[in-house]
């Protein structure tokens, strides 16, 4: 199982990581606003993550870290 962490306060909520996840495990947190005023990305079910790191690769601000 992979561990995915987000620098939530640096996320600009662009959604590129959400689109890149082949398992559809990421979403933009509609109930949370970070310090920059954006809805940050979050993992919905980390136990299903395959650790492909497509999300981290697509993130233009490098706010996602994937550890296998």
Residue at token pair 């995915």: 4
Q: What is the CATH number of the domain that holds 54?
A: 3.30.70.20
Cα dihedral 15→51→8→19 (10° resolution): 0
Q: Which domain holds residue 28?
A: 3-67
Give the model confidence (pLDDT) of 26-59 as tens digits. Answer: 999 999 999 999 999 999 999 999 999 999 999 9
Q: How many domains does the chain have?
A: 1
**For position 15, what pLDDT does the model report?**
97
Q: Which two tokens stand for residue 27?
A: 């979403």
DSSP 21: -
Q: Mean pLDDT score of the chain, rounded to an integer?
A: 96
Cα–Cα distance for residue pair 50/23, rounded to 1 Å: 8
């Amino acid at each position: 199982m992979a561990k995915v962490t987000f620098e939530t306060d640096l996320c600009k909520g662009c959604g590129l990581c959400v689109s890149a996840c082949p398992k559809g495990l990421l979403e933009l947190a509609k109930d949370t606003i970070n310090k920059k005023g954006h809805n940050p990305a979050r993992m919905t079910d980390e136990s299903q993550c395959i650790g492909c790191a497509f999300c981290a690769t697509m993130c233009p601000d490098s706010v996602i870290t994937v550890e296998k």
